[in-house]
């Protein structure tokens, strides 16, 4: 089994090319103002045009309004919408029906009890992403370089595929996969030099480490 890897928060042509050439299965583009990785749809569209067939292009949004979602879906070649806010299962269903794209819903985790929230999305989303709960003073719900206890996922099963995020690095991703049972992983902060500025060598190292599990 080969681990699928998503590199999130890409902002330049160079890092898009590096992620693809290094073997990323998914590449993520952020549409959320408070994030240092935020992009305008027009900029993201040009970056997505560099991504070859077979690599999934993901748009990360946080409780985005209809106008932003319409702009993203209409003007970029996005393949998958990642909903990283407080979107309800009913809202996920409505967005899927409106835009005709698969939906990945992020579930914030700090303990095993938080996994119950995932059950509500099993009939509405197409994929789940488990990420660490952000600090109370955080300005964004993800990309905070925080990990949770991966053991909480050991006995988790779902009809939906799921992805692991939160504090993953090239040094710990192998352990995270073995402990949690994840088959897909997502990274952003750990492959950066500063928030929003990706490092090509770190991207390569992370993908190499994940693929070697």
Coil, strand or helix at 180: helix
**Domain membership of residue 16 as a residue range:** 4-211
Q: How far apart are CA 85 and CA 63, in angstroms?
A: 5
Instruction: Read off φ and ψ for residue 63, nearest 5 degrees.
Output: 50, 45
DSSP state of 122: T
| pLDDT per position as a tens digit, 114-159 | 999 899 999 999 999 999 987 565 555 545 567 899 999 998 999 9
pLDDT digits (tens, 9 = 90+) for 53-105: 999 999 999 999 999 999 999 999 999 999 999 999 999 999 999 999 999 99
Q: What is the predicted pLDDT for the residue at 1? A: 72
Nearest to 33 by CA among 74, 6, 63: 63
- 135 in Cβ contact with 146 (< 8 Å): yes
Q: Residue 49's pLDDT is what?
A: 98
Q: Which candidate, 144, 186, 145, places its Cα nearest to that of 26?
A: 186
- State the pLDDT at residue 174: 97
For the chain, helix, strand, coil in percent to 5 are 35, 20, 45
The vertex-160 CA angle with 116 and 136, nearest 5°, equals 45
pLDDT tens digit sequence for 162-213: 999 999 999 999 999 999 999 999 999 999 999 999 999 999 999 999 999 9
Query: Total domain count for the chain?
Result: 1
What integer pLDDT is reported at residue 141 of this predicted model? 59
- CATH number, residue 130: 3.20.20.70
pTM, full prediction: 0.93
Cβ partners under 8 Å of residue 76, min gap 6? 29, 41, 44, 45, 48, 57, 59
Give the pLDDT score at 133: 84
Please tell me the predicted confidence (pLDDT) of residue 62: 97
């Amino acid at each position: 089994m080969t681990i699928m890897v998503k590199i999130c928060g890409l902002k330049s042509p160079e890092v898009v090319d590096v992620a693809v050439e290094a073997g990323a299965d998914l590449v993520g583009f952020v549409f959320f103002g408070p994030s240092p990785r935020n992009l305008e749809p027009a900029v993201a569209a040009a970056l997505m045009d560099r991504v070859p067939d077979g690599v999934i292009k993901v748009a990360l949004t946080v409780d985005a309004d209809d106008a932003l979602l319409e702009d993203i879906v209409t003007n970029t070649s996005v393949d998958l919408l990642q909903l990283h806010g407080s979107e309800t299962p009913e809202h996920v269903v409505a967005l899927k029906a409106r835009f005709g794209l698969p939906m990945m819903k992020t579930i914030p985790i700090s303990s095993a009890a938080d996994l119950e929230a995932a059950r509500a999305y099993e009939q509405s989303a197409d994929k789940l992403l488990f990420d660490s709960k952000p600090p109370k003073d955080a300005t964004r719900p993800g990309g905070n370089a925080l990990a949770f206890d991966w053991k909480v996922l050991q006995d988790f099963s779902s009809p939906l595929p799921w992805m692991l995020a939160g504090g993953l690095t090239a040094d710990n991703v192998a352990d995270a996969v073995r402990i949690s049972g994840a088959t897909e992983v997502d990274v952003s902060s750990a492959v950066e030099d500063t928030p929003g500025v990706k490092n090509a060598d770190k991207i390569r190292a992370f993908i190499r480490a994940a693929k070697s599990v």
